[in-house]
């Protein structure tokens, strides 16, 4: 399901960003928003490469957010808006504005804020919390190796993502800036991943294990916090998007090699710090308010969350009519496949039974439920085979299979 959502995000983001997102972000306009080049109208040929690069940022921020919420914030800085213009303090201080080299604030703080608001209005998944025992159920991903592969792809992509934010390579100093960006990306991600690994191993803060997933998240956090400046070297933090992004925004004011407080303790560095805080605050406020309006409207019209029965069963079949993985590779699908190979198997009825937690007071954990269907819910191919058998008059008695996540019992 997540793979499908990721691909859908790219498609929806591409359409929304082409029609009006790029215009809001980089079109000619005022200090707040742009309003030219809608659907690439009168966009110079020399700017199509810029469109593609900025679209990848928009797709990273979020899907619907890519159309309006993110482009407006982009215009504030990269489109020449008020965060870029800053204030001229005259004298030796000069002009100071908000700085964000590759999107720690504009991409990750905004995306993290929007995700938090959306999750808060959506609520937890069914079975996530058991109120009677005050237990939190861990809903783990399906494959650690695939998560590791995804982390590697992101790590590799971030090198181009951050280095490419220089937006040029032919001018004097471009090569050095790109090189510094790539090196600092590696350093930041490595320190963050190593710190996460060690902290999770410690009995005080972690679970005493060497967690690969925690290490991957730490690396992604490090890359997110680096995005703010090629001259800033982050040492690690918690929280991939908002946590890493906000620390990256703030860290610039301390670690920038020319304007950082730790490098130059003066009035100018203090004003740089103030502008970074102001930028962080205004981005968070904009993303929070707009996301509240968007997700709140969806919730009001009951379009934010799928029905309970679909949520329990999964969205692959009801929404896409395609199983994400071969049905015989997991759960009761393997049993179905075996039964179909038997001469007298006949139609099969499958009952998905979630393990129930004993709360100690005789009550059932109502976050779980037994979900029954008329056969082969997660396998359209097997369902088609059963329909074919029924059409051709294949006889057989109905079998009932009770399957639980940890084990399976076949009742003939």
In a domain? residue 10: yes
In a domain? residue 96: no
Query: What is the tally of structural domains in the chain?
Result: 3
In a domain? residue 357: yes
Q: Could you list the pLDDT tens digit for every one of the 412 residues in the chain?
A: 445 555 555 677 788 889 989 999 999 999 999 999 999 999 999 999 999 988 888 876 554 455 689 999 999 999 999 999 999 998 889 999 999 988 889 988 998 898 889 888 988 888 777 777 777 777 766 688 888 998 899 888 888 888 888 888 889 999 999 998 899 889 988 998 999 999 999 988 888 889 898 898 888 888 766 554 443 333 333 347 788 889 889 999 998 888 899 988 899 999 999 999 999 999 999 999 999 999 999 999 999 998 888 887 777 777 777 777 665 555 555 555 555 555 444 444 444 333 444 445 544 444 444 444 444 444 555 555 556 666 665 544 344 333 333 333 333 3
Q: Are residues 272 and 404 in the same domain?
A: no
CA separation for the pair 32, 22 (Å, rounded): 14
Q: Are residues 80 and 114 in the same domain?
A: no
Q: Are residues 7 and 130 in the same domain?
A: no
Q: Are residues 54 and 2 in the same domain?
A: yes
Specify whether the CB–CB gap between 51 and 19 falls below 8 A.
no
In a domain? residue 95: no
Q: Which domain holds residue 354?
A: 310-411
Q: Are residues 109 and 183 in the same domain?
A: yes
Q: Are residues 296 and 364 in the same domain?
A: no
In a domain? residue 92: no
Q: CB burial class (10 A; 0-12, 13-18, 19+) of residue 192? A: buried
Contacts (Cβ under 8 Å, ≥6 apart) of 129: 135, 136, 137, 367
- Which of 50, 85, 120 corresponds to the end of one domain? 85
Specify whether the CB–CB gap between 23 and 38 falls below 8 A.
yes
Q: Are residues 144 and 265 in the same domain?
A: yes
Contacts (Cβ under 8 Å, ≥6 apart) of 219: 151, 155, 189, 190, 192, 193, 196
Question: 80: which 2 tokens?
Answer: 């020449």
Contacts (Cβ under 8 Å, ≥6 apart) of 366: none
Angle at 162 between CA 231 and CA 178, to 5 degrees: 60
- Which of 85, 118, 135 corresponds to the end of one domain? 85
- Which of 300, 318, 333 corresponds to the end of one domain? 300
Q: Are residues 236 and 157 in the same domain?
A: yes
In a domain? residue 338: yes
CA separation for the pair 81, 101 (Å, rounded): 15
In a domain? residue 253: yes
3-state SS track over the chain: CHHHHHHHHHHHHHHHHHHHHHHHHHCCECCCCECCCHHHCCCCHHHHHHHHHHHHHHHHHCCHHHCCHHHHHHHHHCCCCHHHHCEECCCCCCEECCCCCCCHHHHHHHHHHHHHHHHHHHCCCCCCEECCCCEECCCCCCCHHHHHHHHHHHHHHHHHHHHHHHCCCCCCCHHHHHHHHHHHHHHHHHHHHHHHHHHHHCCCCCCCCCCHHHHHHHHHHHHHHHCCCCCCCCCCCCCCCHHHHHHHHHHHHHHCCCCCCCCCCCHHHHHHHHHHHHHHHHHHHHHHHHHHHHHHHHHHCCCCCCCHHHHHHCCHHHHHCCCCCCHHHCHHHHHHHHHHHCCCCCCEEEEEECCCCECCCCCECCCCCEEECCCCCCCHHHHHHHHHHHHCCCCCCCEEEEECCCCEEEEC
Q: Are residues 257 and 406 in the same domain?
A: no
In a domain? residue 236: yes
Q: Are residues 43 and 185 in the same domain?
A: no
Q: Are residues 199 and 322 in the same domain?
A: no
pTM (two decimals): 0.71
Q: Give the strand pairing for 348-353 and 370-372.
A: antiparallel
Q: Are residues 200 and 316 in the same domain?
A: no
């Amino acid at each position: 399901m997540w793979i499908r959502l990721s691909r859908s995000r790219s498609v929806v983001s591409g359409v929304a960003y082409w029609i009006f997102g790029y215009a809001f972000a980089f079109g000619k306009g005022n200090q707040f928003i742009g309003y030219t080049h809608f659907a690439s109208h009168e966009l110079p040929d020399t700017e199509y490469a810029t469109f593609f690069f900025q679209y990848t940022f928009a797709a990273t921020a979020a899907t619907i957010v890519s159309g309006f919420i993110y482009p407006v914030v982009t215009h504030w800085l990269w489109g020449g808006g008020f965060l870029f213009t800053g204030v001229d303090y005259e004298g030796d201080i000069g002009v100071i504005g908000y700085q964000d080299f590759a999107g720690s604030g504009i991409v990750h703080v905004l995306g993290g804020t929007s995700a938090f608001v959306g999750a808060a209005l959506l609520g937890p998944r069914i079975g996530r919390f058991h109120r009677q025992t005050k237990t939190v159920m861990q809903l783990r991903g399906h494959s650690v190796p695939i998560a590791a592969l995804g982390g590697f792809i992101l790590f590799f992509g971030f090198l181009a993502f951050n280095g490419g934010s220089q937006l040029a390579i032919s001018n004097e100093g471009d090569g050095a800036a790109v090189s510094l960006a790539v090196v600092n990306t590696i350093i930041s991600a490595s320190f963050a991943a190593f710190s996460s690994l060690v902290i999770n191993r410690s009995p005080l803060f972690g679970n005493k294990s060497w967690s690969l997933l925690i290490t991957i998240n730490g690396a992604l956090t490090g890359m997110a916090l680096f995005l703010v400046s090629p001259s800033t070297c982050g040492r690690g933090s918690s929280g991939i998007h908002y946590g890493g992004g906000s620390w990256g925004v703030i860290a610039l004011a301390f670690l920038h090699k020319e304007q950082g407080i730790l490098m130059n303790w003066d009035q100018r560095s203090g004003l740089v710090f103030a502008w970074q805080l102001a930028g962080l605050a205004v981005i968070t406020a904009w993303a929070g308010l707009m996301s509240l309006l968007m997700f709140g409207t969806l919730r009001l019209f009951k379009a934010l969350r799928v029905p309970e029965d679909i949520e329990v069963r999964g969205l692959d079949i009801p929404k896409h009519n395609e199983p994400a993985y071969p049905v015989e590779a997991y759960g009761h699908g393997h049993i179905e496949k075996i039964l179909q190979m038997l001469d007298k198997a006949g139609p099969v009825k499958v009952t998905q039974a979630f393990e129930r937690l004993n709360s100690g007071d005789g009550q059932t954990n109502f976050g779980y439920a037994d979900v029954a269907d008329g056969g082969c819910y997660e396998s359209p191919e097997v369902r088609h085979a059963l329909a074919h058998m029924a059409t051709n008059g294949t006889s057989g008695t109905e079998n009932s299979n009770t399957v639980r996540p940890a084990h399976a019992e076949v009742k003939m």
